[in-house]
Amino acid sequence: MDTIHSIIGLLVWAGLGVFNLWIWQKEKAQASLLMMIGAFAAAAWWIIALFEILSMFKLGVWLHSLGLLVFGFGFYVLVKAKVMGNLSALKKKASDLAKPDSDGNAS
């Protein structure tokens, strides 16, 4: 893996980790904590890749995969409540529109 590619990957994941650290410090949300841990695990993989010591510790695929899975799960936890709230509001609005008015006609 070339050095520029490793540096860019490291900067992207470290930036995402720092961004989620700031959010977590402000809100103490579990989703932000999970995303921060996942991003820093992925950044650690890029550090290891940068120094080409993956074969020494046999961490390569496992550390990167674990970081991405934890980051993805954190994102799922973060947006699940918002999506469920929007879906329930849409269902309520749809049921209100389907109710007949005082004349017996659907509105």
Exposure string (b/e) for 11-24, b if CB count within 10 Å is 16 or more? eebbebbeebbebb
Provide the domain count of the chain: 1
Domain assignment present for 56: yes
Please give the DSSP secondary-structure letter assigned to residue 51: T
Domain assignment present for 17: yes
* Amino acid found at 26: K
Predicted confidence at residue 76, as pLDDT, reads: 87
Q: Residue 1's pLDDT band (boundaries 50, 70, 90)?
A: low
Query: Of 101, 57, 32, which is closest to residue 49 (Cα–Cα)?
Result: 57
Transcribe 58-76 into DSSP letters.
T-HHHHHHHHHHHHHHHHH
Structural domain of 43: 3-98
Mean pLDDT of 47-53: 75
Q: 63-105 pLDDT, tens per residue?
A: 777 888 888 888 888 888 888 888 888 888 888 887 766 665 6
Q: Which helix (H) or strand (E) holds 12?
A: helix 3-27
Q: For the packed helices 30-50 and 3-27, what is the interaxial angle rounded to 10 degrees?
A: 160
CA dist., res. 69 & res. 44, Å (int): 14
